Amino acid sequence: MTDFAGRFVWYELMTTEPEAAEAFYRSVVGWDAAPFPGGPGGGYTVLSAGGRGTAGLMAIPPEAYQAGARPAWLGYLCVDDVDKAAARLRAAGGAVHLDARSIPGVGRIAMAADPQGAAFYLIAPEGAGEPTPPPGRAGSIDWHELHTTDWEAAFGFYADQFGWAKGEAMPMGPMGTYQLFHAGPGDPEAAGGMMNSPAFPRPAWLYYFHVDGIEQAVSRVEAGGGRVLQGPHEVPGGGWIIQGLDPQGAMFALVGPRR
């Protein structure tokens, strides 16, 4: 059993313009980039922070684009057995959009969605796997946020499938509850939160990339052709966040100190 079961261990941008997207995120987040020809779909770029791989980037396959796929970030949830996890997920009302397949040097993956429609990957890495950079460093992924139509049902699904545990429930007035979750009962720090988001076009996961200064990052987003949708806003703990769209239309978020 991997030590990372039930946790997000990788992140991937599927986009229409890989070279332009790479330039944007290298500027905004500060990631380094290098090709990884053996990745899914052939041409694949690994984005790294501090010499450690953090995320990947690839073109949306033509057949997927024709079927309606658009630029988006997807997270990879680690499991011990992808085939069994996909079967359990289907039985619980989720969907499998890409059947399990093995990628040499990477592991076995499948693309799935929860019962409300938020998409993610399942992965059983080859070998023991390794974690992405810890939160709080430039280029790390600090927070995982589910925007959905029924967070209580969604939490029950992820708890049953991946062993997640509830953290603090934060009241947001007319917006309802923001429920923190831990990626395992023994994890001391929350991994993210979930909430009902009627304004979102469809249920989706939003990932927060750490930057050294949020105001400086806003300037880089705008200079690179992206758009800030919300923020900067202060969040508990003293950090500042923004939510935005990259030039190709994928939604992302940033978190960091105010400078």
- The mean of the pLDDT values for the chain is 92
Predicted local confidence at residue 1, as pLDDT: 41
Amino acid, single-letter form, for residue 127: G
What's the CATH number for 8-125? 3.10.180.10
What are the tens digits of pLDDT across the range 206-235? 999 999 999 999 999 999 999 999 999 999
Mean pLDDT of 167-171: 94
Cβ–Cβ < 8 Å for 182, 227: no
What does pTM read for this prediction?
Answer: 0.94
CATH number of 141-256: 3.10.180.10
Give percent above pLDDT 90 in the chain.
80
Per-residue pLDDT tens over the stretch 49-78: 988 999 999 999 999 899 899 999 999 999
Q: How is the chain split into domains, by residue range?
A: 8-125, 141-256
> Which residues, in sequence order, are CB contacts of 178 under 8 Å at separation 6+?
169, 170, 171, 172, 193, 194, 195
Cis peptide before 232 (omega within 30 of 0): yes
Topology match between the domains 8-125 and 141-256: yes
Q: Count of CB atoms within 10 A of residue 245's CB?
A: 16
